[in-house]
Amino acid sequence: MADLRNLSIGVSTDLGALVSVMSLVLLVLASLSSATAMYLSVQSRAAEIALRRAIGASRMVTWRMFTFEGLTIGVAGGIAGCAVGVAGVLLVCALHGWTPVLEAGILGVGLAAGALSGVVSSIYPALVAANASPAEAIRG
């Protein structure tokens, strides 16, 4: 009986580690995708950014605008990810007749990871936007 319990604990630990690594890889890929989308957004909004800078917006204001946009996208992604995760746990547990176990702390970790991912993904695009030359961007 003790061997079966040790085996169960070992399998559970290994599966937990595997899920953690897969989650981290997916978070990195999502962050890279978000950073690419934000960079393309900065490129397509070059004239708008230049106009804002030309009428007095500082580099810091421009940087904050894009960083806040990244934070907003990250929080929205974190909320969506938490919702899908909870729904997945409830669905799997319902299909197998298990009792769902949801820890409130993991939802906070998901939201924080989404927010951090959004901010980190927006750093480079925000720097590009903040350092763009208004005169060159307006000229085309």
What is the per-residue pLDDT across 85-125, written as a single tens digit (0 to 9) for each?
Answer: 999 999 999 999 989 988 889 999 999 999 999 999 999 99
For the chain, domain boundaries = 30-139
CB contact at 8 A, 33 and 43? no
For 12, the token pair is: 């559970």
Q: What is the pLDDT of residues 10-28, one digit of tens each?
A: 777 888 888 889 989 999 9
Q: What is the pLDDT of residues 65-84, one digit of tens each?
A: 999 999 999 999 999 999 99
Report the C-alpha gap between 38 and 3 in whole angstroms.
52
42: Cβ contacts below 8 Å, ≥ 6 apart:
49, 66, 125, 126, 128, 129, 132
Report the C-alpha gap between 25 and 113 in whole angstroms.
13
Supply the pLDDT for residue 1: 65
- Residue 140's pLDDT band (cuts 50, 70, 90): low
Determine the angle formed by the axes of helices 46-54 and 59-96, rounding to 10 degrees: 140
Which residue matches tokens 């995708």? 33
Surface-to-core class of residue 38, CB atoms within 10 Å of its CB (0-12 exposed, 13-18 middle, 19+ buried)? buried
For 55, the token pair is: 């009428």
Supply the pLDDT for residue 15: 82
Q: Output 36 or 139, whichever has higher pLDDT.
A: 36
1 SS3 class: coil
